Structures are given as C-alpha cells and as structure tokens.
Structure 1
Amino acid sequence: MTWTSLKAGLCGLLLAGWLTGPDAAAQTAAGPTLSAVRARGTVNCGTSGASPGFGLFDGRGELRGIDADMCRAVAAAIFGDPAQARFVVMTTAQRIVSLQSGAIDMAAQSLTWTQTREANNGLEFTGTHFYDGQGFLVRKSLGLTAATGLADATICVPAGGRAEINAAEWARAHRIRFTALVFERTDDIVSSYESGRCDAISNDATLLAGLRSRLRAPDEHVLLPDRISKEPLGAYVRKGDEQWLDIVKWTLHALINAEELGVTQANVEQMLASENPLVRRLLGVTGDHGRFMGLDNRWAYNVIRTMGNYGEIYERNFGAASQTPTPRGLNQLWTQGGLLYGAPIQ
C-alpha cells in the first residue's frame, strides 16, 4: 500500500466518523463513584456547617453558602435535582480522612488548593470557585492598622487546616511572637474571641467577614488589611476516579461559562433556541459532552435551570442583600478584571 492510498483511506474513515463516531455514539459507563452515588441517590459532601457565605445552617436547617451550592450543582448535574445533595458535618481533618476512605464523595468547605493535599494525601483539586487570602479580625479598640501590631498577642485559629501554619510562618518572617489558641469548632473560636481569651482570629478573610457578622456587636470589630497567604478555595475528590473528577470540575466550568455567555436561571429555557454554538454545546443541544462523563447531555442545562450561573450563586451568598456582602474582586470573570476563567466545553 502506498502512502497516498493509506492517506486516502484514513481520510475516508474520518469522514465516515469511524475514528470519532464511537465517542459520540455511546455513553461512557459509570465509574465507581458515580455508580455509588446513583445507587445511594445522593451526593455526600463534607462540610463544617459553620462558615457564613460558604456553608452555614439557616433557621430552617438548610445549609446556605457557595460551597453548599457547588455540591448541589453536582447533584443537579447527575440527578437533575440539587436536593439530592447530602451534607455531613465534620472538621477539616475529618473531611480529608472521610474523603480518602470513601465516606463522602466531595470535600466542599473552604479547602485550599495545596501541593501536599494533592501529592501526599491522595486528593484531587477540582478547580477554584473562590479566591481568598488569610487575614486577621481584631477589636477596633486595639487601634491596629496592620497585623504586625499583634506582637505578643493571643490569636485564635482553626485546627486541621493551613491557618495555624500560615500564621506561624508569617510571624517568623516578621520576627513576631504570638500565642495560638487552636480549636476544632468555629463556634468555639467565636465564643473564645468574644470572651476575651484571644485578641484576634486568623483565617480566610472572607470567612472572617462572615464571622464578624455573627458577633454581638459587629461594628466594634475590624478586618485588618493584611493578607498573609494565597487561598484558592474549591472542592476536593479522591484521586483514582477520573470520571468523578471530570464531573465535579466541569460542573464548575459550566457555571462560569454560563455567566460569560449570559445564560441565567431565568432565561435558560429560551437559550435552548440560541444559535450560538458555545451556548448550544453548554446546554446539550448539540454534542455529547454529558455522555462523555456518563451523564445526560442536558447536565449543564439542569445545573443552570436549578442553581443559576456562577454569578447568580455568588450574588445569592455574597451579594449586597446577603448576610455576608463581599465585593467580587478576584472572583470576577476574567473579562471583568478577575481570575475566573471557564475552560471551553468543546
């Protein structure tokens, strides 16, 4: 066979769809995590249940926050129903162990993307849905304008995460001494701070803004301008199940792309008739992008129909009318000066 005839044969196969057809024709079989989730009927997500804006139980016992909504979005992608997300309250250390063991399917509660968690703990980060940085909450009466004024202070920090390590490294770099009080539960941090056992709380700045709103006299406390770390926050899954990683990761990208493309919870039905190829692929009108992951091709449509796009989720949890109003800043779309960038669904 000559090269010319071989090339002609390959071109014919491509045109006939032989090399590309099977991927588009057959739905990918469910992997271990997706199979378990479907058999159980819920997506199990680890949460602290005590982080305003991220995951805090309201008066009706419903978990509200951006992390909670990301878990609900994954449930909507799989079942078409965000109510099939189940939240399991646990500490940061417990969430990691429970995820490693398979007791939960996602750890979605203010967990920072770090090299150790991916390279040493057997976890896989699914994408940043909130950019933050660690800061300090103090009483206005201290008269501080910078965190370096906390020399010899007692600082409350949460156990099991990076906050204690970040604070220690920052203090060492600035040759500052402080005493750390470490607590497993957020409620214990708040009560210890209010009782005067510690002079400051150090944690992710947005979390601190939410905690400030829970204090008896919020106006008597201030968040210092210092940011001592980078905190790209998002959900983790176990390593070893690439299909489940794809589902969680691409659900986030679908939410961001929906905002970029102007697809909202209110107009998603009308957008099914859009002639924009990007919108048509996103909503499953064309392509087999859901089937590639073992889902219905309308997976992203179901997410947006029930949860809205990323901007709507942000507004619900951090907008001006929320309990934790927070400017979007770095969490703006890349087209608006932020860092959020939806990878293409194509």
Structure 2
Amino acid sequence: MLSSSLIMQALTISELERASGVPRSTIYFYVREGMLPEAQKAAASRAIYTDRHLALLQEIVRLKAEGLPLTAIKERMAAQIASAGATDVDLVAEQNEHVRHSILVVAARLFARRGYKRTRVTDIIKEAEVTPQVFYGHFASKLDLFVESYGLFVEWMHSFLAGGLVDEPDPAARELARTHGYLGMRNLSPDLLCLVRSEALQEECDMQKVVEKSYGGMTRATLEDLLRLREQGQTALPVPDELVAFGLLGAVENMVMRVSWDDRYSTKDVLWTALFLFLAVEGAYSGRTDLTDRLTRYTEAVERLAAQPPPTPPAAYLS
C-alpha cells in the first residue's frame, strides 16, 4: 500500500497487524480491555487505526517481554492511552483523501507513460492497490480521473520547470522553456488536449473547475512575467494580462495542432514562432514598441463591436 506523509498515519487493521506483528484478535482484545483507543469507523465492517495504536502496541509488547502482567501494563500506560485516544482528527476523511491522491499519482504516471487510450482502469487499480469499489467511489470514470491527473501532471511540470528557471533573468528564455515543457505534456497522448479542452467547454460540468485550475497552473508563470513587464515598462495597455497569457498558450496549442497534420513544420518551428509572439508582446509591455496611437485609433471599432452580439449566418443557411 502506498505510504502516507500525514502527521497522523491512518492504518487498516491488516496494516496495523503487519506493522506490529500482533494478531488482530489480540488487538481487538486490547481495545475491549481499554488498553488501546477505539478505532474510527469508516463503514460497518471497516475501522481506521493510527500510528498511535502502533506505538502503543509496540510498548505493550515490550512491557510484556519484561514480564509485566496486563493489569500493570494498563496502569503504567494509562496516560499514553488517554492521550492517543484524545484526537478530533477525522481519520476517515484523511485516509480517503490519501487514497484519492495515491490513485491520482499512479494514474498520472501511467497516462504519462502510455497515453490515455492505452491506460486501462484495471491497471490503475492494480498499481494503486485498491479495489474497484474504492476506485469508483472516488472517480466516476476514466475520463474524470484523467482530467484530474492531468492537473497533477501540470503541477509536476510547473515545479520541474520552475526549479530550472529560478536563476534565468530573461522572461523570453523562460517562456521558451515553458513552451518546450508544454510540448512534453502534449506528447502524453495525441488526444490529450482534445479531452481536456472539451471538458473545459462544457457548461456546468463537474470537471470544469479542475480544468480551470490546470490551465491556471499552465499560464501562471507567464502571467507573472507579464505583470512584471507591465510594471517595469509602466505601460497602459487596454488588455487583460490573464487573457494575453491564455492567448500565448492558445497560440502554442493551435501550432501543435497544425504540426500534427503533416511533416511540413517541426518542433523547432513551434519554438521559434512561440518566441516571436512572446517577444512581440514583451515589446509592447516594456514600452519599446509604442502601440498607444494605433490602439487609440481602434477604440471606436472595439466599443461598437463589443456592444453587438457576434454575427451568425442568415437563417437561410441554417435551414
């Protein structure tokens, strides 16, 4: 079973039995005799113990080996037993979260190695060491799991890139490295972004918030660079920084789509084009390229179009 990094580790009876070397029948006896705190009930036939139970069992075993009777052991350990039982931590909720995260980690690694189509739910269940009932108690479908594990992979990629870019002073070089990292995520499977983006476009979809968080992570560093550039250049551009960051990412996504159609363009072409676009944006943000007059010229057109609904084909074309 995957290990937990929680301060108070939750254990099943089987795990407690293996870790302590004490048979479960004896553990149940110690609980009845008040030598161990009651376990928290996760279900009618499932209880959650903690590493505090394990520590108490190890102490009981040690004292028994010294020849102390159970009555003396219970009296000597009274304060420890009371302390171990005095907790308001919801162990069931913590273990459920731990199991959910463990499944996500396993799934993200399998999706990364095999892609979406070649990763089977049965493989995830086997490697995560959970039952199908536990799996489907956390994730309704493979697609739901994929979208959430994709978000986890974004966090991993962001952390990996951030470590290597700490000392990089050039925002364009940082954006180039992030674009290269994005291409790595894209290589998880050919249909990766199609699946994620289709979920993002669904109105009131349960996965929409997860996708929003993933894309927020993918654009966060670019957005931070844009905010610094705006502050340094003291420019008054009439554009939302977040939309510019998403626009740069969207440009890369569309370039990747075009590259997938044939062999005309390469990864190098994508990197050069992404760099060109960022440098153009950087020039406007830094003030080196003054767009004030040109933007002002289009103010009336922007205001007029924004006040109108986007055009649709005439009814004759839709019938």
Both structures adopt the same fold (TM-score exceeding 0.5): no
For Structure 1 versus Structure 2, the TM-score category normalised by the shorter chain is: under 0.3
TM-score of the superposition, structure 1-length normalised? 0.24
Between Structure 1 and Structure 2, the one with more helix by share is 2
Bigger RCO of structures 1 and 2 (CA < 8 A, at least 6 apart): 1
Structure with bigger gyration radius: 2
With normalisation by structure 2, the TM-score equals 0.26
